[in-house]
Structure 1
Amino acid sequence: MPDQFEQAADKSARETSLMKTRDRRHGVVLVHAGEGKGKSSSAFGMVFRAAGWGMKVCVIQFIKGQWQTGEQRAATRFEEIEWHALGDGFTWDTQNPEQDIKTSREIWEFAKQKILSEEFDLVILDEINYCCGYGWISGQEIADFIKNHKPAWLHLVMTGRNAAPEVIAVANTVTEMTRIKHAFEGGIKAEQGVEF
């Protein structure tokens, strides 16, 4: 009679066999934009969905930096998820735009290498749209890279306000989150488990 480790290995092999092979997959490009809450949250839901199917996932955060989030903590429990929080933090009122541009360009180069590595089935570029909106990375450059270099089977998600028109044009699915009401307007600050 097989022991529990053999049973777990058999179950894992069966589940992995359910994952669509790369040669049968159409890699989808998604953009989550708009003023409303939920852009990154939606992308992170996809992270765990893909990992649940045994897909390899890479999350690259352009803005949040070392700010610890519940999603990042949960991701450590999945060997399929690689997480990189690389930004300098929130920079709406930046005092050093040259540093913001430099950091964003370095993260973009890192992201391109991760995409080109063909190691991942899903890549999340969290808050890259902000970088376009601030003019740190051009939308045309991102769109050209997607058109010319993204593996056909790779799913790619880009989040953040101010998505560039060129990025929207190359995406398969674009969702705009619309803010109707937000707790912050009522004096409620970011809450653990909801915003981070």
Structure 2
Amino acid sequence: MKARDKRQGLTLVHTGDGKGKSSSAFGVVFRAAGSGFNVLVIQYIKGKWKTGESRAAEKFDNIEWHSLGDGFTWDTQNPEQDRKTSRDIWEFSKEKIRSGNYDLVVLDEINYCCGYDWISGEEIASFIQDEKPHWMHLILTGRNAAPEVVTIADTVTEMKMIKHAYSQGIKAQQGVEF
């Protein structure tokens, strides 16, 4: 593993309306953990779901996983609570990033929070530029990545939906989508 002081930390954004944003990030999580990196995953939306990826992460000593959201926002009954929860998670995320304890941090579904105007893209981009350790890798996932975040990111990938099983009436399948 390359020494932290010699590493160029990257900021990656996985966005778009297609499937695979979080899945791609979790692939990097396990790649980094397998390389001996200390990894942190903070989920903004999914809430208390027990997913396959969180179960797999439990098998690693060097992956810390937090599912902190209130659940899927399109089902919300309380948008003000969702805003407060997202702000609280953002403060928690900044504290964890500032700690310097992690080589890779994934902020899963944070881009949705920008799309809903709960956290501004300018605020996120400024924090990344000013406070993210230079050696830390950071991945931000979710639809509606803020233009300010896209601008400062090193790598941006847009997942484009061509066809999705959900539009055919097939519900999310365990092992593929959670």
TM-score (structure 1 length as normaliser) = 0.90
Instruction: Name the structure 2 match of 1:46.
Output: 28
1:62 maps to a residue whose letter is Y
Deviations 1:78-117 (A, max 9, x none): 0000000000000114221110110000000000011000
Cα distance in 1 for partners of 2:51, 2:75 equals 22
SS state of the match for residue 192, structure 1? Answer: coil
- More contact order relative to length (CA 8 Å, sep ≥ 6): 2
Q: Is 1:171 aligned to 2:149, yes or no?
A: no
CA deviation after TM superposition for structure 1 residue 24, in Å: 1.1
Q: Is 1:132 aligned to 2:137, yes or no?
A: no
Q: Is 1:87 aligned to 2:83, yes or no?
A: no
RMSD: 0.6
Cα distance in 2 for partners of 1:182, 1:59 equals 26
CA deviation after TM superposition for structure 1 residue 187, in Å: 1.5
Instruction: Name the structure 2 match of 1:192.
Output: 174
180, 183, 196: which one pairs with 2:162? 180
Query: For structure 2, which runs of at least 5 residues remain unmatched after alignment?
Result: none
CA deviation after TM superposition for structure 1 residue 40, in Å: 0.1
Cα distance in 1 for partners of 2:137, 2:3 equals 13
Deviations 1:26-55 (A, max 9, x none): 000000000000000000000000000100
Cα distance in 1 for partners of 2:76, 2:64 equals 29
Give matches, 1:3-152, under 5 Å: 19-152=1-134
CA deviation after TM superposition for structure 1 residue 23, in Å: 1.1
User: In the comparison of the two structures, how many residue pairs are matched?
Assistant: 178
Cα distance in 2 for partners of 1:61, 1:182 equals 23
Cα distance in 2 for partners of 1:43, 1:76 equals 17
Which of 95-104 and 106-115 deviates more? 95-104
Instruction: Name the structure 1 match of 2:140.
Output: 158
TM-score (structure 2 length as normaliser) = 0.99
